[in-house]
Structures are given as C-alpha cells and as structure tokens.
Amino acid sequence: MGQSELRPVTGGCHNSMFNGLPLTAADSIDTLLIMGLNDEYYRALDHFKANLKWDKQMDVSVFETTIRFVGGFLTAYQMTGENFFLESVTDLVNRLLPAFNTGSGLPRSTVNLVTGACSEPAWMISSAVLAEVGTLQLEFATLSHHTRNPVYLQKVSDIYNVLRNHLPADYLFPPFLNYADGSTKPSTITIGGLGDSYYEYLLKFWLLNEKKDKDIGDWYYKSAQSIIDNLALYGIPSQPYIEVENPDRKDYMYFLSERDGAGRIINRQDHLACFAGGMLGLGSLYIEDENTKQNHLRVAEGLARFCWEMYNKTATGLSPEAVPVNFNGEEIQIVTTNNVEWIMRPEAVETWFILWRITKKQKYRDWGWYIFEAMNKHSRTDLGYSGLRNVNNVPPEKDNVQQSFFMAETMKYLFLLFTPDDVLPLDKFVFNTEAHPLLKFQADAFFEV
Ligand code: DMJ
C-alpha cells in the first residue's frame, strides 16, 4: 500500500518515480469511490492517516506530483468531505512552491520536498516544458478555492501571463521554454508528449470557473482551431469500420501530425495525442456557431477513429506508444511501428468515453469493450495487469509494471463508458489530466461513502 507501483508478474514494488510514497493508492483513491469499493477506500484512508508524511528527502516532479497526488486528494476531498485530504494536500503543495521562485514564475521541473532545492532532468536542457508548466492550473485553482488562500491560484495565473506574452502567431507553442522569461526555441511542435495537456488545461481551466475568464476561452478556441487547420490531417482509412447501426455511414479519420523546427510535416502520432479527440469534442459543446461546432466534433470523431485503428491493427489488440503513418493525401495507413510497447495508457478510451457521452454512438462502447477484453487476454496476471513490451507478439512479453495511471485513468474511463450519464456528469465536473474529476466552482459535491 505504501509503495509506488505494483510489479504485477513477480509481486513486489516498482518505485521508480515516487520511492516510498503511496502513488498507486493515492492515484486510484477516487476510482475506488466511483466504483463503490468503499472497504478498499477506507483501508487506503487509514493507511494514509497512519503513515503518509510529505517531509521526505526526495526530489519530485512538480507536474507528476500535482496531477497524480494533488489531483487524487482534491477529488477525494470533494467526494467525501474528509478533512485529512485537504490538510495533507495543502502541506504537499506548500512544499512544491519553491519551484516557482524563478523570476519569471515558470516553475522548475523538480523540487526537494524538504529543502525546496530545485533542478530538472538533463533531457530538459535547462528549459521548462510546455506540458509541465501548463498542467497545474486546475489543481492549484481548486486548492485556492477550498483553502480560501489565493496564493496557489496566483502562481498558476502567473504562468499563463508569461505564456501569453510569448504566444506564437499560430498559437502552437514549441515544447521548450526559457525559465527566465518564457521565450521559446524552434523545435518539434506536437500535441503528443511535451505539449498535450497544456492545450487540454486551457479548455478545462475556462470550464472549471464556469467560463468566466473569456480570455482563456478565446485562447483555447484559437489554439484548437490552429491544431485543426495546421496539424490535423484528414483521410480515408485503408480498411473501413462498419458500424452495426449505420452500415452506410461514410468512414473517415484524422490524425495529428507534428511539425519539426523547420516547419516540415512529420506523419506520426503518439498515443498520448489521442486525448485530443475528447478535448475537441468537449470544447465543441460550447461553440455557438453551428458550422464551427460541427467541424470540431467531426475532427474529434476522426481522431477517435484513428486511435481505434492504433489498437485494431496489432496482434494483441493493444496500441503501441506511437505510430508512423503512411499518408498519400487520401488514404491513411498505419503500417509498422517503432515504439511497440503498450504501457497501459488511457488517452484513447478517455476520448471514446467523452464522445460516447456526447454522441451516444455505440461504436465507442464497442471499442472500449474490445480493448478491455484484449487487456484481460494479454496483460492480466494473478496480481493485476502489466504493460507489454511488444504489442505485435502473441503471447506478448510483460514488462512487469502496473502504471499508477492504469487504475487512475484507464480503468476509470472504461468503467464510465458503461455507466449512466449522471455518474460524473460532464456539465458539473472537469477531469484533470490524470482523470481525477474536479467540481466546477458552482457545482455541489454529491458523493457519499
Ligand atoms: C498520465 O500521467 C496523464 O494522462 C498525463 O497527462 C499523460 N501521461 C499519463 C498517461 O498516459
């Protein structure tokens, strides 16, 4: 319970990121509540109360700590009213605050929970990463809301102020930013890893505060339109998907290409970018102009279709991390893959869940069920579920790690795909990027345990 992640094949613990902190228990705490697993919830709560202390000599990622621990505890607090969660998470976030002392206000990547000393991994080349600094806003704003302490909200609003000063003309940020002033260097523009949840949080931050901050809403819609105009590529699947209810429906899809530093198109897509179907679908609900609304929803559905293809095309029925795409301007074909591991990611099923809620098209449930069965067949062990080293091998070799986001996100979104719409209704909650639902500020908590 007090360890980071499960080793589902051999037993024991995988402690790569948060050595000695109960990552999986914290990240799945609201999944337990949503699924009605109240005994397990109380076991986790008792464990936290007896053992969880944040004064550990440990360097932690500000981003990962926020989306997983802070997000999980804030949701648990909203669902149960249990004061422990709010007190604990306030202590934790206070320990992250030294990371923001950079002059510009863009936080450093890593902070020591006791000393406040900051650093970043070598691969970040002493820069801030767009998705890291742009994915703290929901959690920090919610903490300010509950503690009535504006300091957390101020920190993340300052980040938006820095980014706003450097907004590219096409609203598509390169992923690396200078800590000192937020200026950018030309590099690959992607909606996958390093970029992804920055775009997601523009929309959700606006929604969290009941659409009161018009600037942020405009910022999101201009960014989303630019993604559609500049990165989304439209084509016909090499093999059509026949819907049972609508066998004549014309099948199409979109994928999100990348742009290198010289502006050249790269025809590939990360699984991480599959979240964008849900984002565009959710965003489409609030667009007044009917043509624009339909356009955003159409791209969202095309992306969902592409992500289904990423699963459908492999021997195990589970998606690789990223796919190169053969695209002749008409037909989109996923041929072979380089990044063949499956690490239990949630983004495709997240998109199918949101689009199911919006469109009620049965195919989204069918796709979710298909991958649930594939997981049970190829990834399940006596102890849990495991990532796979190569999705094209049957039987696949297991990597012996159960990622904490598997319980926090993948299983939660699969579950919600099959619940009635009034379980976590989309008009009352926004999901943080780790699938922890946060109440919009005007909404009322309603869970009981
Ligand atoms: C999760 O931690 C979050 O969804 C994050 O936004 C991206 N990476 C993983 C899941 O793939």
Which class in CATH covers the domain with range 1-230+420-449?
mainly alpha
Q: Indicate which residue's Cα is closest to atom 8 of ligand 1.
A: 272
Catalytic residue (one of 309, 321, 341, 434): 321
Does residue 321 have an active-site annotation? yes
Our answer on whether the CB atom of 345 is closer than 6 Å to any ligand 1 atom is yes
| Nearest residue to 444 via CA among 430, 426, 429 | 429
Q: Residue 42 pLDDT > 80, yes or no?
A: yes
Q: pLDDT digits over 290-308, tens only?
A: 999 999 999 999 999 999 9
Q: Is a pLDDT exceeding 50 seen at residue 146?
A: yes
CA nearest ligand 1 atom 11, residue? 345
Q: What angle do CA 174, 175, 179 make, to 5 degrees?
A: 105
Q: Is 9 exposed, middle or buried (0-12, 13-18, 19+ CB in 10 A)?
A: middle
The reply to whether 433 sits in an annotated binding site is yes
pLDDT, tens digit, 9 for 90 and up, residues 69-119: 999 999 999 999 999 999 999 999 999 999 999 999 999 999 999 999 999
Sign of CA dihedral 347, 350, 356, 359: negative
Q: In this predicted structure, what is the pLDDT of residue 241?
A: 73
| Cα–ligand 1 centroid distance for 432 (angstroms) | 10
- Which residues pair with residue 439 across a beta bridge? 429
Q: Which residue has the tokens 């997000």?
A: 71
* Ligand 1 site, residue 437, Cβ cutoff 6 A: no
Q: Which atom of ligand 1 is nearest to the CA of 271?
A: 11
In this prediction, residue 446 carries a pLDDT of: 41
In angstroms, what is the span from residue 348 Cα to ligand 1's centroid? 12
* C-alpha–C-alpha distance, residues 91 and 228, integer Å: 41
Please list, residue by residue across 149-165, b when 16 or more beta carbons sit within 10 angstroms of its beta carbon and e when fewer do: eeebbebbbebbebbee
pTM: 0.96
Other Cβ atoms closer than 10 A to 180: 11
Phi, psi of 162 (to 5 degrees): -65, -45
* 3-state secondary structure at position 442: coil
404 within ligand 1 shell (Cβ under 6 A): no
The whole-angstrom separation of Cα 251 and Cα 234 is 11
pLDDT digits (tens, 9 = 90+) for 179-216: 889 999 889 999 999 999 999 999 999 999 999 999 99
By most ligand atoms within 8 Å of CB, the mutation choice from 24, 69, 343, 433 for ligand 1 is 433
Compute, in angstroms, the gap from residue 118 CA to the centroid of ligand 1.
23
Domain ranges across the chain: 1-230+420-449
Asked if residue 345 has pLDDT above 50, the reply is: yes
- For 209, the token pair is 């505060």
pLDDT for the residue 445: 46
- Burial (0-12, 13-18, 19+ Cβ within 10 Å), 148: exposed
Mean pLDDT of the chain, nearest integer: 94
State what percent of residues in the chain have pLDDT above 90: 89
Select from 365, 389, 385 the least CA-distant residue to 377: 385
Give the Å distance between the CA of 246 and the centre of ligand 1.
Answer: 33
Q: How far apart are CA 9 and CA 380, in angstroms?
A: 9
- Verify whether ligand 1 is closer than 6 Å to residue 204 (CB atom): no
Per-residue pLDDT, averaged over 128-138, amounts to 97
Neighbouring C-beta atoms of residue 396, cutoff 10 Å:
23
Ligand 1 within 6 A of 433 CB? Answer: yes
User: 447: pLDDT confidence band, cut at 50, 70 and 90?
Assistant: very low
Which of 17, 272, 353, 354 to mutate for ligand 1's pocket (most ligand atoms within 8 Å of CB)?
272
Active site annotation includes 434: no
Half-sphere exposure of 372 toward its Cβ, with a 13 Å CA cutoff?
17
Separation of CA 291 and ligand 1 centre (Å): 32
Distance CA 305, CA 348 (A): 9
pLDDT given for residue 248 in this prediction: 66
- CB-CB contact of 58 with 19 (8 Å): yes
Cα(275) to centroid(ligand 1), Å: 9
Of 145, 99, 141, 94, residue with least CA distance to 120:
99
Q: What residues contact 85, with CB distance under 8 A and at least 6 apart?
A: 73, 74, 76, 77
Distance 347 CA to ligand 1 centre (A): 8
Query: For ligand 1, is residue 173 a contact (CB within 6 Å)?
Result: no
Measuring from atom 10 of ligand 1, which residue has the nearest CA? 345
Residue burial 331-351, b: 16+ Cβ < 10 Å; e: rest: ebbbeebeebbbbbbbbbbbb
pLDDT of res. 207: 97
Choose which residue among 321, 409, 431, 436 to substitute to test ligand 1 binding: the one with the highest number of ligand atoms within 8 A of its C-beta.
409
Catalytic residue among 27, 301, 341, 347: 347
Q: Which of 27, 64, 139, 434 is catalytic?
A: 64
pLDDT in tens, 276-288: 999 999 999 999 9
| pLDDT at residue 449, rounded to an integer | 42
Residues in the chain: 449
Least confident of 175-179, 221-225, 249-253, 277-281: 249-253
Distance between start and end Cα atoms, the chain: 21
For ligand 1, mutation pick of 24, 67, 271 (most atoms within 8 Å of CB)? 67
Catalytic site residue from 30, 120, 196, 341: 196
Report the 3 state secondary structure along 264-310: CEECEEEHHHHHHHHHHHHHHCCCCCHHHHHHHHHHHHHHHHHHHHH
Residues 6+ apart with CB under 8 A from 257: 231, 232, 233, 265, 266, 267, 268, 269, 325
